[in-house]
Amino acid sequence: MRKAFISPSKYVQGENELLNLGYFIRTYGDSALLIAHPEDVERVKDKLDVTINKFNVTLVESGFHGECTRDEIKRLKELAREKKCSCTIGLGGGKAIDTAKCVAEGDALIIVPTIAATDAPTSHSAVIYTEEGAFEDYAYFKQSPSVVMIDTTVIANAPTRFLVSGMGDALSTYYEARATSRSFTKVNAGLPCGVHEGAAPVARGTKAALALAKLCYETLLEDGVNAKIACDSNQVTPALENIIETNILLSGLGFESGGLAAAHAIHNGLTVLPGTHHYFHGEKVAFSTIAQLVLENAPQAELNEVLEFCSAIGLPVCLADIGVNSITQEELLKVAQIACIPEESIHAMPFPITEEAVASAIAVADQIGREFKKSKGAL
């Protein structure tokens, strides 16, 4: 059986770690193309100035347009060549990070997230959008980022909602990796550069990936509540440090090398409902994880544990929590139809999938969440 595991060459996190950015630039040369939204640059400008002077490096600001499009990628590649940049830095949220991945194409890439809202920073893939902001394609590169560097002080001073959303994304990691392992489904770690998924040789997940995914879930339960409190107070504590590592590293390695299943597919289906558009990826994944547990008829104790965790940190447990106050059977089936398209990860579940079963799981998960909130006096 062919197995695969992929990870960044180096992951480092710590308080004021941005002050060491110049050190990592120096491992490649003396200049870097900085791909970042101007607001993110402004948030950390003092630290960038210090590291530039300390390590005598140059940051070439790119004037990033804010969207990962083919034209923007082409423009930034030309700028990097023109300025003879030694490496590429993606600083900020998902769009800047994905654009940096596309510009670097797997070489000399430093990723610096300023929020811990998703597990994308460690992966070797990116999402490309149209100029209008619609999904266009996935891109896969020959390796994961060279360096993923996290300044925990920056994360602590970002809005707590980002951290909580990251925990929602991380919440699905173990359950999806477990399903993928049971069904012997292929994982993204096996996808080579420049080859679309359908043409790639199949690789299964490793025991290491499943173990990391389980640790991801265990750390959420252990440190999630206290990490949220710390972020509310803009303080770096051991609990917050553990959750930052969980949201970014453990979840990132877990999803890419362990596999995705129903939760992320259901999330993708939910995006057709206009009410969900104002909610973060991880918030929708949290509810979708509950739907996956219903779909696979998970033990009641497991379902209750997830509901209690979501309630404790403020993650959604029902559709109303992600902007859907009512839903018709027709809408449920539309969500399920999108979640069940042939290329979706839902087919990693270790049993046959039907659109009707998925629609029913979403409806029941919603009702379970509503009844849970009612029992807590939240409705």
Active site residue 196: no
Beta bridge partners of 109: 88
183 belongs to an annotated ligand binding site? no
96 belongs to an annotated ligand binding site? yes
How far is it, in rounded angstroms, from Cα 243 to Cα 168?
11
169 belongs to an annotated ligand binding site? yes
Catalytic residue among 169, 223, 321, 366: 169
Catalytic residue among 223, 281, 321, 366: 281
123 belongs to an annotated ligand binding site? yes
> Which tokens in the block code for residue 79?
């700028």
Active site residue 281: yes
98 belongs to an annotated ligand binding site? yes
Angle, CA 90 vertex, CA 85 and CA 224 arms, to 5°: 155
Catalytic residue among 151, 264, 321, 366: 264
How far is it, in rounded angstroms, from Cα 163 to Cα 155?
8
How far is it, in rounded angstroms, from Cα 315 to Cα 247?
14
Catalytic residue among 124, 223, 267, 366: 267
94 belongs to an annotated ligand binding site? yes
71 belongs to an annotated ligand binding site? no
Active site residue 264: yes
Active site residue 267: yes
For the chain, the farthest-separated pair of C-alpha atoms sits apart, in whole angstroms, at: 62
95 belongs to an annotated ligand binding site? yes
How far is it, in rounded angstroms, from Cα 22 to Cα 20?
5
97 belongs to an annotated ligand binding site? yes
How far is it, in rounded angstroms, from Cα 135 to Cα 352?
28
Give binding residues for glycerol as ranges: 119, 169, 264, 281
Binding-site residue positions for NAD(+): 94-98, 123, 129
- Going by the annotation, the residues of the binding site are 94-98, 119, 123, 129, 169, 264, 281
So which residues are the catalytic ones? 169, 264, 267, 281
